Amino acid sequence: MVGMKVLIVEDEEKLACAINRGLKQEGYAAECIYDGEEAQVLLESQREDFDLVILDVMLPKKDGITLIKELRRKNINIPVIMLTARDASEDKIHGLDSGADDYLVKPFEFGELLARVRALLRRPATLVGTEIKIKDLKIDLAKRRVFRGNREILLTSKEFLLLAYLGRNAGAVLTREQIIAHLWDFAYEGFSNLVDVHIKNLRKKIDPGAEQKLLETVRGAGYRLRSDK
C-alpha cells in the first residue's frame, strides 16, 4: 500500500509536520490541513484523492467528531484514524461510534501510528474487492499484479499505483493535477511532463498487441481508462 495518499487533519503544526515527514519517508503521499471546515470541503470535493485520514478530535472551526459524523452521513467512507489527548474509554467509544475506524491517544510512537495506517489501508480492498477488471485487464490490488488476458505485465511501483488509481475511476477523466495530487503531493515541483512520462510508459506496457486500447488521452483534459462495454 506504499504510495497511497493520507490526509492529516491536525492543528498542532509541529505534530502534523512530523507525521507528514514520517509518512513520506515510508513512501506515502501526504497532505496537512489544520482545521475541520477546510478538511470537510477538501474531502467532499476530492474524496477519491485520499485513501486514509488521520483526524484530530480537537480542531478549530469544526471538531473531529462532528466532521466524521458529517462525512459518514454523506457516504464518504474513507478510513479514519482519530487522534486525541484524552484516554477515557467513553471518549474512545464516542469516537468509534461516530464513524472512526481506529483511535490513537497522544502522545504516541510514530511506529504505532504507522502500523495502524498499514492495517487500515489493507482493509478497503476487502470492502470494494481485491481486483479491478476492465475488459481483459485485471488489476490485483492485494498482490499488486497486473494481467492483460493471460499475459502478466510487470510495472514499477508508481506505474502500478497510477494504473490502480485510473482503474478505481474507470471511465472518468483524471487531470494531471489530480494524478499528481494523488500519487505525489500538491506541492510537487518536478518537471511539468511528469504524468505524461508515466502515462507513456504505462501505455507501452498495457496496450501493445491488444485488440482494444484501454488507456486514453483526452486532449486538453487528462487521461482515462476506458470502461465502456
pLDDT, tens only, 154-207:
988 778 888 988 988 888 898 888 887 777 654 555 545 778 888 999 999 999
Res 48 pLDDT > 50: yes
Judge if 97 and 164 occupy the same domain.
Answer: no
Average pLDDT, the chain: 84
Cβ(98)–Cβ(69) below 8 Å: yes
Residue 124 above 50 pLDDT? no
Domain boundary among 83, 105, 125: 125
Domain stop point among 92, 125, 158: 125
SS3 160: helix
Task: Please give the share of the chain, as a percent, with pLDDT higher than 90.
Answer: 38
Enclosing domain of residue 16 = 5-125
91 pLDDT exceeds 70?
A: no
47 with 137, same domain?
Answer: no
pLDDT at 33: 95
Mean pLDDT of 112-141: 75
> Whose CA is closest to 139, among 42, 50, 30, 227?
227
* End-to-end CA gap in the chain: 30
What angle in degrees, to the nearest 10, is found between the helix axes of 110-122 and 13-25? 60
CB 85 within 8 A of CB 58: yes
96 and 142 assigned to the same domain: no
Whether the per-residue pLDDT at 15 is higher than 80: the answer is: yes
Residues 165 and 121 in one domain: no
- Tell me if 54 sits within 8 A of 146, measured CB to CB: no
Q: Do 78 and 134 belong to one domain? A: no
Q: Which of 105, 99, 94, 168 is nearest to 131 (CA)?
A: 168
Using the predicted structure, report yes or no on whether residue 127 has a pLDDT greater than 50.
no
Q: Are residues 74 and 142 in the same domain?
A: no
Number of domains in the chain: 2
Among residues 125, 141, 160, which one ends one of the domains? 125
